[in-house]
């Protein structure tokens, strides 16, 4: 995997990060979020780290390298070596074991279909875990294991009784409320769940600033709960608006030329793309050529965008 060293020397402590999944090339929405994460970290004197979240997505051996190359071509640099999330299995297992010793883990034998079909508690959000396996007897657990064999049970967090869903203050969204339930810690196939992994990894890497798409804001209260139970620090959060396609849906390959490779084939280079992204953030004039270093001089965290950017095609993308 290629790496890109940083020639910025942050004077403060802590770090921001960008953590793509190697399930496909980065599109304009991903790149815009990465640029915002870089600007927020660098403008506040933090290091900027890259973590490849490769736990359970469909992976192509070359995707992560292409993602890193795309970031570098825009002028986004980072400190140290990118970290593969799959290399941190021992730390994930240790966190689950710590919760288990505190009596906060139980086996769950439910399929997704079972959960969706089960009666939900009043006011529970759709798909919330209804507690089916939370208090089974040993005899009932044995019967459930036989029923799902050879599939293994998932491991879920036993949320302590009386827990109040945490509210957090987001740099973009303001006060955010969310729901919590007995979330999955490890799936039946052995894969560690995102909420557990991201909490453990951010703390281990000293990340105290998380910038990501606002579609992930609803999962943040669960992560804050885990941080408290594991005695880990809470980073500051900035959930930024997504990029939408012309139909108002989340940007995807169906919207045409949306990756750097696509745009390059149509005559739009990386620096042109950087200028368009900067324009969408109110940091550059139409057609202006700018560098990431130049954007730092203009960037004001208080002016982070609060509305989605609708992609309607770029020069060379027709």
Give a yes or no: residue 131 inside a domain. no
Token pair recorded at residue 12: 């403060």
pLDDT at residue 127 in the model: 72
**Measured distance CA(172)–CA(300) in Å, rounded:** 12
pLDDT at residue 10 in the model: 39
**Measured distance CA(136)–CA(54) in Å, rounded:** 34
CATH number of the domain enclosing 35: 3.40.50.620
In the block, residue with structure tokens 């004197």? 45
Q: What is the mean pLDDT of the chain?
A: 90
Q: Residues at the annotated binding site?
A: 17-21, 53, 108, 110, 129, 133, 194, 212, 253
Contacting residues for 232 by C-beta, under 8 A, at least 6 apart: 199, 200, 203, 226
**Tens-place pLDDT, residues 258-312:** 999 999 999 999 999 999 999 999 999 998 999 999 999 999 999 999 999 998 8
**Measured distance CA(87)–CA(94) in Å, rounded:** 14
Share of the chain above pLDDT 70, in %: 91
**Measured distance CA(199)–CA(95) in Å, rounded:** 10
Q: Residues at the annotated binding site for L-glutamate?
A: 17-21, 53, 194, 212
Q: Is the pLDDT of residue 6 over 60?
A: no
**Residue of 156, 100, 108 whose CA lies nearest to 136:** 108
Give a yes or no: residue 195 inside a domain. no
Q: How many domains does the chain have?
A: 1
**Measured distance CA(30)–CA(277) in Å, rounded:** 11
Give a yes or no: residue 197 inside a domain. no
Give a yes or no: residue 217 inside a domain. no
What average pLDDT does range 12-31 have in this prediction? 91
Question: Phi-psi region for residue 114, left (φ > 0), alpha (ψ -120 to 50) or beta?
Answer: alpha
What average pLDDT does range 129-144 have in this prediction? 95
Q: Please say whether the beta carbons of 209 and 41 come within 8 A.
A: yes
Strand order in the sheet with 236-240: 174-176, 168-170, 236-240, 209-213
Task: Please state the length of the chain.
Answer: 318
Q: Is the pLDDT of residue 78 over 50?
A: yes
Give a yes or no: residue 315 inside a domain. no
Give a yes or no: residue 276 inside a domain. yes
Q: Residues at the annotated binding site for Zn(2+)?
A: 108, 110, 129, 133
Give a yes or no: residue 286 inside a domain. yes
Give a yes or no: residue 288 inside a domain. yes
**Measured distance CA(32)–CA(257) in Å, rounded:** 15
- Residues paired with residue 47 on neighbouring β-strands, in sequence order: 15
**Tens-place pLDDT, residues 243-271:** 999 888 988 878 788 999 999 999 999 99
Q: Kindly write down the DSSP assignment for every residue of 105-132, as one continuous string.
A: EEEE---HHHHHHSPPPTTPPTT----T
* Domain containing residue 67: 15-81+241-310
- The alpha carbon torsion through 27, 28, 34, 35 (nearest 10 deg) reads 150
Q: Residues at the annotated binding site for ATP?
A: 253
Find the helix or strand (DSSP H, E) in which 35 lies.
Answer: helix 28-43
**Measured distance CA(33)–CA(17) in Å, rounded:** 11
């Amino acid at each position: 995997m290629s790496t890109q060293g940083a020639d910025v020397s942050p004077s403060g402590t802590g770090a921001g990060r960008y953590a793509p999944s190697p399930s496909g090339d980065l599109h304009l929405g991903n790149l815009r979020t990465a640029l915002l994460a870089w600007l927020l970290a660098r403008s506040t004197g933090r290091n900027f780290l890259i973590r490849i979240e490769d736990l359970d997505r469909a992976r192509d051996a070359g995707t992560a390298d292409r993602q890193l190359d795309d970031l570098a071509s825009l002028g986004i640099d980072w400190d140290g070596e990118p970290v593969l999330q799959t290399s941190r299995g021992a730390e994930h297992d240790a966190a689950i074991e710590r919760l288990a010793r505190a009596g906060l883990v139980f086996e769950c034998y439910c399929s997704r279909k079972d959960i969706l079909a089960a009666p939900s508690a009043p006011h529970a959000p759709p798909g919330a875990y209804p507690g089916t396996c939370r208090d089974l007897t040993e005899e009932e657990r044995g019967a459930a294991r036989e029923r799902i064999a050879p599939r293994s049970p998932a491991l879920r967090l036993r949320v302590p009784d009386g827990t109040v869903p945490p509210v957090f203050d987001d740099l973009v969204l303001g006060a955010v409320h969310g729901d919590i339930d007995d979330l999955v810690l490890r799936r039946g196939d052995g894969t560690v769940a995102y909420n557990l992994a991201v909490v453990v990894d951010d703390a281990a890497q000293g990340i105290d600033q998380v910038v990501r798409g606002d579609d992930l804001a609803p999962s943040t209260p669960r992560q804050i709960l885990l941080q408290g139970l594991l005695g880990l620090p809470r980073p500051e959060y900035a959930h930024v608006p997504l990029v939408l396609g012309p139909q108002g849906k989340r940007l995807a390959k169906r919207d045409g030329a949306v990756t750097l490779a696509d745009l390059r084939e149509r005559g739009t280079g990386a620096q042109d793309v950087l200028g368009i992204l900067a324009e969408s953030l109110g940091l550059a004039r139409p057609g202006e050529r700018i560098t990431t270093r130049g954007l730092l001089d203009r960037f004001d965290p208080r002016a982070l965008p609060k509305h989605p950017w609708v992609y309607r095609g770029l020069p060379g993308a027709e």
